[in-house]
């Protein structure tokens, strides 16, 4: 079971917390960063697509600004993060470049991902980077947001990224081996949990306190696993101090705690889409388009659209109906209502000519479409 879930996983989100990339919270540990880059490049060579979520900006900023300790005031942490992020990306860039692999900086906030247009934009940027075999290095945009700075050390952000890229696996690396039923330092009967459902409520009772360096304790990691499970992503919480931990996980060694997503990826993701969003408009499809959506599971193209109603923007949820007004599907649309009107009935090759810019080929991509 576990082997299947991991062996078949082709898209991983890997999250490394501050304690794994810094020297005791002060300044970056360049050797550690080189080890992460080496392992990630090896995974890439095995055909795995990687998105790295890394913190460490505040810690590096503290070192660069020669502050005696991590500031407690949030605006000072933000300033430190802005300075330190330069060092963090420099370090990753040079370590990945040693292997001839490009890295890309992505700074995101939770709000970016709850806004549907930004969600779709972030999603297409990340998928494009993955297709290009670039490793995206994601951190919270600490200048404008403070959620992870105050609470999570990027745990929740990693889960949102897992939702965003539809990851098969999220590996959350920390300084503990995984989840125990009690604190093993205090309780000899503490049992190690090697597999559990991400939705198992008793996990929260087991969650102990976090390490002092990062913000996120086990509690935020379990919540992150629950969030990732909503889009079908399985989470492994493992000890980042273990030798070549990522390569061991990829080769099937049972390391850490696996928190399983109970639903199949596609179903869960589409449930998530369906549950999150409000309907803004509708489009009438011709019979050919309806057949293609239902029978071949393909994306909706402009050529099959007969009529557009309502006012909607890129990223809104729109209903697709047949000529009699019966709902056939709903999904996240790639264009505004006026743009769809201009494109309807036309072939996708004409998009740039009709709109004056080259947008997506699909009006609704099949990954963002739910049949009714």
55 is in an annotated binding site: yes
154 is in an annotated binding site: yes
155 is in an annotated binding site: no
Distance CA 137, CA 157 (A): 12
Strands (E), the chain: 11-16, 49-54, 103-108, 135-140, 169-174, 179-180, 192-193, 195-197, 234-239, 257-260, 279-285, 305-310, 317-321, 327-332, 369-371
The nearest distance, CB 78 to ligand GLU, in angstroms, is 9
72 is in an annotated binding site: no
Q: Which residue lies nearer to ligand GLU by CB, 150 or 253?
A: 150
Q: Which residue lies nearer to ligand GLU by CB, 81 or 227?
A: 81
Contact status: 153 vs ligand GLU (CB under 6 A): yes
Distances (CA, A) of 17 to 127, 138, 187, 240, 266: 23, 12, 26, 9, 29
Contact status: 29 vs ligand GLU (CB under 6 A): no
The nearest distance, CB 152 to ligand GLU, in angstroms, is 8
Which residues fall within 8 angstroms of residue 236, CB to CB, at 6 or more apart? 6, 169, 170, 171, 172, 249, 255, 256, 257, 258, 259
Residue where the block lists tokens 């997503």? 261
Contact status: 81 vs ligand GLU (CB under 6 A): yes
Distance CA 319, CA 309 (A): 10
β-strand 135-140 against 195-197: which pairing, if any? Answer: unpaired
For 36, the 3-state DSSP assignment is helix
Contact status: 52 vs ligand GLU (CB under 6 A): no
Using CB under 6 A as the binding criterion, the count of chain residues that bind ligand GLU stands at 15
Q: Count other C-beta atoms under 10 Å from residue 213's C-beta.
A: 19
Q: Which residue lies nearer to ligand GLU by CB, 108 or 245?
A: 108
Q: Count other C-beta atoms under 10 Å from residue 33's C-beta.
A: 24
For 37, the 3-state DSSP assignment is helix
205 is in an annotated binding site: no
Contact status: 255 vs ligand GLU (CB under 6 A): no
The nearest distance, CB 237 to ligand GLU, in angstroms, is 17
Contact status: 145 vs ligand GLU (CB under 6 A): no
Q: Which residue lies nearer to ligand GLU by CB, 148 or 168?
A: 148
SS (H, E, C) 106-133: EEECHHHHHCHHHHHHHHHHHHHHHHCC
Q: Which residue lies nearer to ligand GLU by CB, 56 or 136?
A: 56
Contact status: 55 vs ligand GLU (CB under 6 A): yes
The nearest distance, CB 300 to ligand GLU, in angstroms, is 38
Residue where the block lists tokens 């049972």? 254
Q: Which residue lies nearer to ligand GLU by CB, 212 or 347?
A: 212
38 is in an annotated binding site: no
224 within 8 A of 172, measured Cβ to Cβ = yes
Among 29, 142, 260, 339, binds ligand GLU (CB under 6 A): 142
Among 19, 78, 109, 139, binds ligand GLU (CB under 6 A): 139
Among 27, 136, 178, 214, binds ligand GLU (CB under 6 A): 214
Contact status: 112 vs ligand GLU (CB under 6 A): no
| Residues of each annotated binding site for substrate | 55, 142, 154
| Residues of each annotated binding site | 15, 55, 142, 154, 174-175
Footprint on this chain of ligand GLU (rule: CB under 6 A)? 18, 55-58, 81, 139-140, 142, 148-149, 153-154, 214-215
| Residues of each annotated binding site for ATP | 15, 174-175
């Amino acid at each position: 079971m576990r082997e299947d879930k991991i062996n078949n996983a082709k898209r991983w989100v890997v999250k490394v917390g501050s304690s794994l990339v810094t020297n005791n919270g002060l300044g970056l540990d360049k050797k550690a960063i080189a080890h992460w880059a080496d392992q990630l490049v090896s995974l890439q060579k095995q055909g795995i697509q990687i998105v790295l979520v890394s913190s460490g900006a505040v810690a590096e900023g503290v070192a660069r600004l020669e502050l005696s300790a991590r500031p407690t005031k949030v605006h000072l942490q933000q300033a430190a993060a802005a300075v330190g992020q330069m060092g963090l990306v420099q370090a990753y860039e040079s370590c990945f470049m040693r292997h001839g692999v490009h890295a890309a900086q992505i700074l995101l906030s939770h709000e970016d991902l709850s806004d549907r247009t930004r969600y779709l934009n972030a999603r297409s940027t990340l998928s494009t980077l993955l297709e290009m075999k670039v490793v995206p290095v994601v951190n919270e945009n600490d200048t404008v947001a403070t959620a992870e700075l105050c609470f999570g050390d990027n745990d929740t952000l990693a889960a949102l990224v897992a939702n965003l890229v539809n990851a098969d696996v999220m590996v959350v690396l920390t300084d503990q081996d995984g989840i125990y039923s009690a604190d093993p330092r205090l309780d000899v009967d503490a049992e190690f949990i090697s597999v559990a459902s991400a939705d198992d409520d008793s996990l929260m009772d087991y969650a102990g306190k976090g390490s002092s360096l990062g913000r996120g304790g086990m509690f935020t990691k379990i919540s992150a696993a629950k969030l990732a499970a909503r889009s079908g992503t399985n989470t492994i919480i493992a000890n980042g101090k273990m030798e070549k931990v990522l390569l061991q996980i990829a080769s099937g060694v049972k390391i850490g705690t696996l928190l399983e997503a109970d639903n199949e990826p596609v179903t869960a993701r589409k449930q998530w889409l369906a549950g999150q969003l409000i309907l803004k408009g509708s489009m009438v499809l011709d019979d050919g388009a309806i057949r293609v959506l239902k029978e071949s599971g393909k994306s909706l193209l402009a050529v099959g659209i007969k009529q557009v109603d309502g006012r909607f923007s890129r990223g809104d949820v729109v209903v697709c109906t047949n000529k009699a007004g019966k709902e056939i599907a709903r999904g996240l649309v790639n264009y505004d209502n006026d743009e769809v009107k201009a494109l309807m009935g036309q072939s996708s090759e004409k998009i740039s000519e009709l709109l004056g810019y080259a947008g997506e080929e699909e009006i609704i991509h099949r990954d963002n479409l739910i049949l009714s």
